[in-house]
Amino acid sequence: MLKYSHFLIRYLSYPILSVTTLAIVLLMAYQKIPYWPSALVCIVSISAMVAMLERFLPYQQKWLHDQDDTFTDIFHAIFNVALILITATILQFILKFEFFSKLWPIQWPIWVQFLLVGIIIDFGLWYMHKLSHRRRWLWKLHAIHHQPKRLYWLNGEKRHPLSAIALATPSLLVLTILGAPTLLIGCWLTFTAVHLSFQHANLDYRAGPLKHVFAVAEVHRWHHKQGFGSKNFAEVFVIWDHIFGTFHYEEKAVSADSLGIRTPISNRYFKQLLWPFKK
């Protein structure tokens, strides 16, 4: 029975929960369900399921144990999810201006508009993520995300708030100028937040051919392995890494002690916020 359960979790957890999340956000878009609190409920509930599944089928047993980082990661998650909600609220106000609404193809089917929003946001995140590894001032903000010696579901939202702003601003600026519906932007950000829980999960799931389409944990773990930070920058669609030659994947496992960066960074939340500004 246990073996059967492990098989189901390994091969079905990612597609089922991802499709469920997609169905929820598309329902929000089609029915114009208010972003708040629907998005928060979706993010928390699906991410909690990912956390629970980690206990049943961990990728690395060692990564299940607290490394004096859990409370700090909870603070990061709370603040960064709140930042997503605040951003959606600000965009809702800005996009009320008449100028913007005339540029977006509002007559297209909602699912096509949703996909277009996703492509624009995802490419912007990929490009800024790549720059965050190549520009010193951006790296100092982004380094916090690579500080952990383990990967688990909370790592998806472990980032400096200024890094989060830097990553998202270009694509959100483009969408604002085009006049993309705020609800669709919020729905995609909700889907991305849940996806990041899966992307960083300490869950031994397999995506099969989907790993060449979506940036799942099998692929993204290599980005966190020491010496591979210049590979696999994708947030959702791994196609960007294929196109620009930054994709890397090996069948062998990423070992439990091969993550993190050599630069020491405190595990305390506020010290992590201040770290980028130290000489």
- pLDDT-derived band of residue 279, with 50, 70 and 90 as boundaries? low
Res 138: pLDDT = 96
Residue ranges making up the domain that contains 242:
2-277
d(CA 197, CA 39): 15
Given a cut of 90, is residue 151 above it in pLDDT? Answer: yes
Q: What is the pLDDT of residues 24-62, one digit of tens each?
A: 999 999 999 988 889 999 999 999 999 999 999 999 999
Q: What is the pLDDT of residues 178-237, one digit of tens each?
A: 989 889 999 999 999 999 999 999 999 999 999 999 999 999 999 999 999 999 999 999
Q: Please state the domain count of the chain.
A: 1
Res 98: pLDDT = 61
Res 85: pLDDT = 82
Given a cut of 90, is residue 89 above it in pLDDT? Answer: no
Given a cut of 70, is residue 2 above it in pLDDT? Answer: no
Q: pTM (2 decimals)?
A: 0.93
Given a cut of 80, is residue 157 above it in pLDDT? Answer: yes
